[in-house]
Amino acid sequence: MKGKKKFTIGVLRAIGVCALVGILIGALAFLEKDHSVEPAQIIFAGTKDDADCAILQSGGSCVVIDTGEAQDAEHILELLRERQIEKIDCLILTHPDKDHIGGAPALLDALPVKMVVCPYYNKDNTPYRDLQEKMEALGVSQLVPSRDRVLVFGDLKLQIWPPEDFYYEKDNDYSIAVLVEHGSVNLFFAGDAQKQRLQELEQREFPDIDLYKVAYHGRDSSHSAQLIRQIEPRLAVVTAKGPLGETADALKEVSAQVLCTLGQDYFMESNGDTLEWKRLSASDP
């Protein structure tokens, strides 16, 4: 009788252990599914001259980083229409130069823009002042970060790194830097950062970088080269005909594949683990 009782208890314990294991496996599967990401799309707009514009989509949200020059606005709007984008959730203007903010007035006229992120800048700059007045008139929310911020749109996590000082001699050094995380895929945008701002960025800790939008159109700079060697990107987007001088040498040294956007659009898709890219032609969707 005692043996039979022990056998029954053993069976019940085995059943309990199996049930617990099943619950744990189910919970792990749920957590894995819960933390999966939907694919994200990125388009780098081809511009007529050296200028920046990137369009990021995830989960029905759209983020635009810089808007090229005024002459690029119609092409950028065409890209947005082709992607059936009817609103911009976040427009990031890295700094107030015309090759980064020039297309912004046209975008604001054409589409609802929920939020604009821009740096603190108190110099006399008529186009930038006019743009700020336009945003105020339209009731667009403006975020001028004085410290690091994290914004989430769909499955995109954006780390916003503002300039560390309130005054720089060169306007390019007002550039906001943006680290975009999508699962384990990381993209880094450095605006037009030059010596002083690049020195600030060199003090940062970076994850593995899959794509780097090279600072200041890939122009010759020892500090640009130093940052490239630090982050060792797999892909490098140069918003010009090509990188120059020490910047070009550093990209070659780290074996980065260089994509140049002068007159050429690029489409990219991240599944959260890998980032694939292709050139877009006039017939591509």
Q: What is the pLDDT of residues 51-61, one digit of tens each?
A: 999 999 999 99
Distances 212 to 9, 160, 234, 265 between C-alpha atoms, Å: 61, 15, 8, 16
Distances 204 to 145, 187, 260 between C-alpha atoms, Å: 17, 15, 26
Domain count, the chain: 2
What residues make up the domain containing 193? 38-280
- 55 and 8 in a single domain? The answer is no
User: Exposed, middle or buried, 60 (CB in 10 Å: 0-12/13-18/19+)?
Assistant: exposed
pTM of the model: 0.88
- 6 and 50 in a single domain? The answer is no
- 243 and 133 in a single domain? The answer is yes
Identify the pLDDT of residue 21: 46
Span of 28-37, 98-107, 122-131, 235-244 with lowest mean pLDDT: 28-37
In the 8-state DSSP scheme, what is residue 71?
Answer: G
- 29 and 87 in a single domain? The answer is no
Q: Report pLDDT digits (tens) over 202-227.
A: 999 999 999 999 999 999 999 999 99
- 42 and 3 in a single domain? The answer is no
- 43 and 27 in a single domain? The answer is no
User: Exposed, middle or buried, 126 (CB in 10 Å: 0-12/13-18/19+)?
Assistant: exposed
Q: Is the separation of the CB atoms in 76 and 102 below 8 Å?
A: no
Q: How far apart are CA 105 and CA 134, in angstroms?
A: 8
- 7 and 75 in a single domain? The answer is no
* Mean pLDDT across the chain: 91
- 111 and 6 in a single domain? The answer is no
- 2 and 94 in a single domain? The answer is no
Closest CA to 243 of 227, 266, 265, 259: 259
Q: Is the separation of the CB atoms in 237 and 44 below 8 Å?
A: yes
